[in-house]
Amino acid sequence: MEHTIFIVDDESTIREGVALALANEYQVRTFADAESALAAAGEEVPDLVLLDVGLPGMSGIAALEQFRALDNDLLVVMITAFEDVATVVAAMKLGAYDYTVKPLQMAGLEATVERALGSIRLRKEVRQLQEKSLREQLPCCIGKSEALHDVMEFVAAVAKSPDTPILIAGETGTGKELVASAIHYRSPNFAGPFVAVNCAALPRELIESELFGYEKGAFSGASPQGKKGLIEAAAGGTLFLDEVGDLSLEAQAKLLRFLETGEFFRVGGIEVVQVRTRLVSATNQQLDELIASGRFRKDLYFRLGVVRVRVPALAERPGDILPLARYFLDRFNRKFGKALTGLAPEAEAHLLAHRWSGNVRELRNLIERGTLVSKGVVLTAADLGFGAENGATDSVGLLDQLPPLTRDGLDLEATLRAVEAAYCQQALRLAGGNESQAARLLRLNHHTFRYRRKKLTGTSGPDPESAG
């Protein structure tokens, strides 16, 4: 009995009759008034409420609002003694799933209950698919930093709306498109298309026709059949406009009208086209500066940014660097058929010290390249392209650039391992590869040095306590 149903009716014969009909398949609780049912729902929210309209005390309509406020997933079927159209319409507007009329026909009521609970099961399955898509497609969401947590809380909140415009700001490579797709996959538009457009990549003279489409013969070289634009392609889903600051002023004016009315004209067209889609836009530019210089419309800026979020740079979330690197390593292990077991400590040290001007995209590309060329069991600094021969920082510089401790925290164990590995590598380099001399530089005996070095590189070695 996975589903719980509340039956709220002041007529005992109806309560008992409905409970008897449903008790074999569902967990059923009965109530004679709305107040006691709401009190019980505050402790355990049911899946479905069969709610009488004409209750003593609080009315069924008033109770419907309070039940819906408890949980958006809770479904309510109204029960009325006669077909009062006005009451039924009011109930449906307030979120009632369905209604039934007294005297109750049990076969019809059972079918309504099964349909309602089937809707709940489908909603849960969709949510599971959404979460699966989120995990598989959104590496920008990997990590536990406070900065990332704030962004994902924002995503969960704004995704509930199907059409509120959202403006995402952030440096190149931080994952603005991935955040936009996270919003899409968690929104009511999940089943619709997610259409991403890089405005900077479109020739300025073609932006309008690409976005809004065109009629046949609209301009020289136009398709004789005409063409639907990307806004129409995103109908019922999400349109993501990346680098929106590169739109021409003409395209901005037309986009503003669409945002205000949901309507537009194709290039060369005279018929109004209506489309319902959510518009998410992104930029790495300072739009206020573009507005000041007359290159971006102020009214469009406020309309695009009804809700705004900034995606933090990777340097602002250092605690997420290694989790992201391991995520990408696992992903490319599977893609390239590799069996790398992890990152070598000196590779972790370089990743932590590196200045990620390209952010998550740069890290992804680095791990992809390293996984592809690696011939060992772990991903090394050399696999990633770090080393003196290509101008990367050496161990001394690396140790000087260790990540600072911030409010997002720090993986201390990984950092200490990386520091120890970096010093071991530096000592070996200074000693020309001679382990005994390298050990003396670090005030260690030879056996202890060898043990630590092998432990750090993931290979077995002699126990220094038992060594001679």
- Pair 205, 275 in one domain: yes
- In this structure, the answer to whether residues 99 and 30 fall within a common structural domain is yes
Mean pLDDT value across residues 368-396: 75
CA–CA dist 336, 315 (Å, integer) = 29
Contacts of residue 10, Cβ cutoff 8 Å, sequence gap at least 6: 32, 33, 52, 54, 55, 56
Q: How confident is the model at residue 130 (pLDDT cuts 50, 70, 90)?
A: low
Tell me what pLDDT residue 68 has.
86
What is the torsional sign of CA 405, 406, 407, 412?
A: negative
Q: What is the rounded average pLDDT of the residues 155-165?
A: 87
Residues 51 and 181 in one domain: no
pLDDT band at 396 (very low <50, low <70, confident <90, very high): very low
pLDDT recorded at residue 182: 85
Q: Are residues 247 and 326 in the same domain?
A: no
Locate 30 and state its tokens: 């009965």
Last residue of a domain, one of 312, 338, 359: 312
Task: Please tell me the predicted confidence (pLDDT) of residue 405.
Answer: 64
DSSP code string of 328-382:
HHHHHHHHHT-----B-HHHHHHHHHS--TTHHHHHHHHHHHHHHH--SSSB-TT
pLDDT at 167 (0 to 100): 96
- Categorize the per-residue pLDDT at 441 as very low, low, confident or very high, splitting at 50, 70 and 90: confident
- Is the predicted pLDDT of residue 80 greater than 80, yes or no? yes
Looking at residue 466, what is its pLDDT? Answer: 36
Residue written as token pair 């090394």: 380
How far is Cα 297 from Cα 248, in angstroms, rounded to an integer?
10
User: Is 465 part of any domain?
Assistant: no
Domain shared by 346 and 259, yes or no: no
Is the pLDDT score of 394 beyond 70?
no
Query: Which of 261, 289, 312 lies at the terminal end of a domain, its last residue?
Result: 312
What is the reported pLDDT for 393?
42
Give the relative orientation of helices 60-70 and 85-93 as an angle to the nearest 10 degrees.
Answer: 10
Judge whether 400 and 430 are in contact, CB under 8 Å: no
Average pLDDT over residues 332-356: 89
Where a domain ends, among 268, 285, 312? 312
Structure tokens at 97: 């799933």
Quote the pLDDT of residue 136. Answer: 52
Count of domains forming the chain = 3
Name residue, tokens 């530019």.
285
Residue numbers of the domain that contains 433: 316-456
Residue 462 belongs to some domain of the structure: no
Cis amide leading into 103 (omega within 30): yes
Q: Are strands 4-8 and 48-52 parallel, antiparallel or unpaired?
A: parallel
Element (H, E) at 310: strand 307-310
Q: Which residue type, as a one-letter code, is found at position 275?
A: V
Q: Given this model, what pLDDT does residue 439 score?
A: 84
27-31 and 307-310 beta bridge pairing: unpaired
The helix or strand, by DSSP H or E, that contains position 307, with its residue range, turns out to be: strand 307-310
The residue among 283, 309, 305, 261 whose CA lies nearest residue 165 is 305
Residue with more model confidence, 274 or 122: 274
- Paired tokens of 465: 């306590």
Residues 8, 155, single domain; the answer is no
pLDDT range class, residue 140, cuts 50, 70, 90: low
CATH number at residue 67: 3.40.50.2300
Looking at the structure, do residues 173 and 58 belong to the same domain, yes or no?
A: no
Q: Is residue 131 part of a domain?
A: no
Look at residue 296 and tell me whether its pLDDT is greater than 50.
yes
Give strand ranges (E) for 148-301: 166-169, 194-198, 238-242, 263-265, 272-274, 278-283
Tell me, yes or no, whether 152 lies in a domain. Answer: yes
Task: Of 127-131, 140-144, 328-332, 342-346, give the lowest mean pLDDT range.
Answer: 127-131
Q: Tell me what pLDDT residue 138 has.
A: 56
Would you say residue 463 lies in a domain? Answer: no
> Which residues are CB-neighbours of 453 under 8 A, at least 6 positions away?
424, 435, 461
Name the band, by pLDDT with cuts 50, 70 and 90, for residue 220: confident
pLDDT for 103 equals 85
Per-residue pLDDT at 468: 35
Q: State how beta strands 75-80 and 166-169 pair.
A: unpaired
Q: Which of 145-154, 180-189, 313-322, 447-456 has the lowest mean pLDDT?
A: 447-456
Predicted confidence band of residue 389 (pLDDT cuts 50, 70, 90):
very low
Residue 119: pLDDT band (50, 70, 90) is: confident
Angle at 313 between CA 311 and CA 317, to 5 degrees: 100
In a domain, 466, yes or no: no
Cross-strand pairs, 263: 274
Give the mean model confidence (pLDDT) for residues 355-367. Answer: 91
Cα dihedral 160, 42, 67, 115, rounded to 10, equals 80
Query: Are residues 321 and 368 part of one domain?
Result: yes
Do 420 and 282 sit in the same domain of this protein? Answer: no
* % pLDDT > 70, the chain: 88
152 shares a domain with 276? yes
The per-residue pLDDT for 459 is 47
Dihedrals φ, ψ of 351, to 5°? -65, -40
Q: What is the pLDDT of residue 49?
A: 95
Look at residue 390 in the predicted model and tell me its pLDDT.
39
pLDDT by residue (tens digit) across 254-294? 999 999 999 999 888 888 999 999 999 999 999 999 999 99
Residue 301 has pLDDT above 60, yes or no: yes
CATH number of the domain that 178 lies in?
3.40.50.300
Domain identity same for 202 and 101: no
Task: Determine the pLDDT at residue 460.
Answer: 42
Instruction: Tell me: pLDDT of 207 over 60.
Output: yes
Q: Rounded to whole angstroms, what are the CA distances from 405 to 208, 312, 322, 354, 461?
A: 48, 17, 15, 16, 33
pLDDT for 137: 53
Mean pLDDT across 293-303: 95
Asked if residue 58 belongs to a domain, the reply is: yes
The predicted structure's pLDDT at residue 203? 83
Query: How confident is the model over 169-195, as pLDDT tens digits?
Result: 999 999 898 889 888 888 888 888 999
Q: Are residues 293 and 407 both part of a single domain? A: no
CATH number at residue 411: 1.10.8.60
User: Does residue 73 lie within any of the structural domains?
Assistant: yes
Q: Mean pLDDT, the chain, as a whole number?
A: 84
List, as one string, the DSSP characters of 76-127.
EEEEESS--HHHHHHHHHTT--EEEESSP-HHHHHHHHHHHHHHHHHHHHHH
